[in-house]
Every structure is written in structure tokens, then in C-alpha cells.
Amino acid sequence: MIDITLANFESDLIQASLQQPVLLDIWAEWCGPCKALGPVLEQLETEYAGRFLLAKVNADEQQEITSQLSQMFGVRSIPFCVMFVGGQPVDGFVGALPAEKIREFLDKHVPGEGEIVSELETLEAEQLAESGDTETALAKLEDALAKDPGNDEARYDLIKLLLAEGALEGAQAIFAPIAERATGLLAEQRVNAFGRYIDALAAARQGRSPAELSAAIEANKRDFTARFELAQIFFASGHFTEAMDELLEIIMRDKGWNDELARKTYVAILEVMSKPQPKPIPPKAAAATGAAEGKPQLEIAGKVAVTANDPVVDKYRRKLSSALF
């Protein structure tokens, strides 16, 4: 629990809510219901084991803060609690509610323990996959999805590993729920990219061999169908740069070939290669799960773990720009 003043409003409330939900309790010394609510909120903060942070502000001493929040929500009485998520006030409640009602309120905004464990297991799986331990990484990702079926990054990572193992049907089954529920430009771009990734493996199973395709290209540099088929084989097998090199050959000779299929596939490969920023995980919650103990992880203690740009992705983005413009 932390006391909020004008001096720490930005750092300990706004910035802190970028890392984890913060519940701000507006109270006063003379307010009987406030004194009844306070211990309930403190007990819930302990019960939720770091999944949200409790902050308090004295309505009499910090009127500039409390008056603005009261006006924003149209509330004139206390106790008044405001939930901050992502740097913004998003919801609130008035009065000394019983614990079960406050739990219902919290559960709308606070990540479940399963979600946090799932995120941590996804990070561990990525590191295991990079070290070559595919079998353990697959098990971790399957467990992460079991704990949180809405963890799409675990789902995408699992699709990558399954495709690398040639498990087309398994990848299609894992992909189906995302394809059905994707909304918004960024989500749809990622779904489109992984859809093309899966299609590449299906096409590679049925097409000509790499030797046959290379011979066809050698005989005719403008055999774009053969180049695209070869790019699909490279894409399906995880040889992304080789795939993009073949696609670039098509783009440089004929940008509009087959309704810009080469460019669209190239962009899809870049999307598959790109890592989204990991979700911030409350450090206390991570510790409470026991997942952080003795295991290699991204640094998540009190700040967002930032994924560095991939120099290969940046290089091939520049190559595409040069070819197009």
C-alpha cells in the first residue's frame, strides 16, 4: 500500500499502473465508512498477492487530486475507489462494499494468477526454444495455454514450433481459435501472417522438390511461379531469409505479379519473425507464483521488459523498401 500525493502522483500512480493495475482509495479521517473499507482493501491486496497495487489518497489533504477524479466520475461522496490501468482511470466504485463485491470489481481488471503463470511460462518456453530444447518448450507452451487459453503469444509460439517440426495439423488446430476472434488491424495482420505461414507448409508438401524448382529458375530467371514455390518451401522450413531473398527477386522484376503475392508473403514473413513487446508482469505477482525462482527470465522487476529490434528483420525491411521505392 502506498500514500499518494501530488509529488508522487505521476510516478507511483500513473507510471505504476503501466506495470500493474492500481486501485486508488479516496478516504478521510472523519469518514466512518472509509475506516471500515480500508482494512478490507488491505486484506484483498494481500490475498491477490501482488496482482494489483493498493494506493490511498487523503481527500482533505490532496484536494487537487480528489476533486478532479470526483468531477471525472461525477461522484461527490467517499469512500470512492478508482482503478487505474495503463496510466488511465478506467473504473470505480463508491461506498464500503463487502469483500465479495470488491472481488467482483477487481476480477474485471486484475489479471488472474493463471494468466501471470502463463505469461511467465511463455517467456521460459521462448528461451528453451532458442537453446534448442524444443520438447520442453512445447510442453511449457501447451501448459501456458491450458492455464490461459487467451494467451495468444503462447499460441503463436506454439504454432512456430509445431510448423518447424512439420506438425501441420497440430498447428492448424492451435491457429483456429485466433483466426476466429481476431479484431483490430494489428491482430488481423498477425493472423494473416501466420495463416500464410501455415499455408506455406501445406503447399510445400504438395509441390515440386527444391532441386526441380532450382533447375526451373536456372532455365528461366523470370519463372516467378517456381521462385514463389521455392520461397514457400524455405518459409515452411523456417529458412526465412532465404525465402525473402527469392521473393525479392520477384518483387524487383515484377512488383505486381499475381496480385502482389510476393510482397504480401514477404511482409508476412517479417511479421512472423517480429517479436511483440512482452506484457508487463507485476514483480510481486511473479514472485508469488514461484516461477521466477532459479530460472532464467527476462528482467521484469518493476519495469517493462523491452524486446530489442532484430537486426535481421530491420535489414530485410530496408531491402523491401529499396525494392519497392
Angstrom distances, CA of residue 230 to CA of 57, 122, 179, 257: 63, 32, 26, 16
Residue recorded with cell 511479421: 271
Q: Degrees (nearest 5) of the Cα angle 51, 174, 260? A: 110
81 given a catalytic annotation: no
* Catalytically annotated residue among 22, 26, 31, 251: 31
- The CA radius of gyration of the chain, in Å to the nearest whole number, is 26
Query: Which contacts of 69-76 are long-range, i.e. CB under 8 A and separated by 24 or more positions?
Result: 69/24, 69/26, 70/26
* Catalytically annotated residue among 34, 144, 193, 251: 34
What is the distance in angstroms between the CA of the first residue and the CA of the last residue of the chain? 55
Q: CB under 8 Å to 22, separation ≥6 — which residues?
A: 13, 16, 52, 53, 54, 55, 83, 84, 85
CA–CA separation, 193 and 174 (whole Å): 15
Q: Do the Cβ atoms of 217 and 223 come closer than 8 Å? A: yes
Helix (H) or strand (E) holding 198: helix 185-206
Active-site residue set: 31, 34
